[in-house]
Structures are given as C-alpha cells and as structure tokens.
Amino acid sequence: MSGRPTRGNARSAARLAAVQALYQLEMEKQQLHLLLDEFHLHRLGAEIEDVEYLKADVAFFDDIVRGVDARREEIDDLLTQKLADGWSLPRLDKTMLQILRSGVYELLARKDVAVGTVINEYLDVTHAFFDAREAKFVNGLLDNVAKSVR
C-alpha cells in the first residue's frame, strides 16, 4: 500500500482545512488571497508541532473556501430558513457555522459530489470538533437543505 493519499482522503482533508480557513477568515477578517496563500504554504500537508496534516486536494479546498465566501449571503439565507424557531446564525458556534456553510456550499455548487457523501463527510468534520449531539444537528440540517436544493 502506498503512502499517497487517495482522492477521498485528500478531499476529506480539504474539507477539514476549509472549515478551519473559513473560521479564521470569519474571526480575523483576513484578505481571502492571503488566507489561501497561508494555507497553501504552511498548512495543507504540513507538519505543525509534530502533527502531520494530510495532503489535501488544494483545488477542492480553494473551491470550498472561495465558494462559501462568494455565496455567503445565499448560504446564510438558506441556513436561516432551515433552522428551528428560536435559532439564528449568530447563536451558532462559529466552528459549527463554518461546517454548515461548507456543507451547504457543496450541496448547492458541487453536483459532482453525492448528497450522502457531502453529509457523511461533514459529519466526520463535525466529530473532529463536537460530540454526537451536534453531529445529529448537522446531519438533520444538511439533509433538510439537500432536500430543497438537489
């Protein structure tokens, strides 16, 4: 077995990195091209503090980050429509919001990726940051969005 990442692993790594990049973009209000450069040069596939990051599909990473940034208003409107009464985007955890935005972007723009793949991949990303309760929330919300956009 070779040490090269598979396309699936490279896309999984790209999704996780995209959520991290979008979180950083939201918190630091950095210029998008500078953020992408930072991730390309120092994060994707790098070793940081003895932790080796998986090689990511850079084009896929860029598409998610640029796509969410460009379509944020549309994505946020869609999420707002699907949230339960009493919930709003500002009430969501900032990392959770980036996971949802990324998943919704893929559901809207990446018809080449199956709905089940999108949902399962973002459940995996959710598990990297949260517990099962939050994963159920992501699953339900992305499934609801998928039914209206696919």
DSSP string over 115-141 = HHHHHHHHHHHHHHHS-HHHHHHHHHH
pTM score: 0.89
If one counts every other C-beta atom within 10 angstroms of the C-beta of residue 130, the result is: 16
The domains found in the chain, sorted by start residue, are 7-149 (1.10.940.10)
- Residue 50's SS3 state is coil
How is residue 116 written in tokens?
Answer: 């089940």
Each residue of 49-99: pLDDT tens digit? 555 556 889 999 999 999 999 999 999 999 999 998 888 999 999 999 999
How is residue 122 written in tokens?
Answer: 């973002």
Each residue of 26-59: pLDDT tens digit? 999 989 999 999 998 877 866 555 555 568 899 9
Query: Rounded to whole angstroms, how far apart are CA atoms 113 and 131?
Result: 25
How is residue 38 written in tokens?
Answer: 């930072």
Nearest to 128 by CA among 8, 46, 17, 39: 17
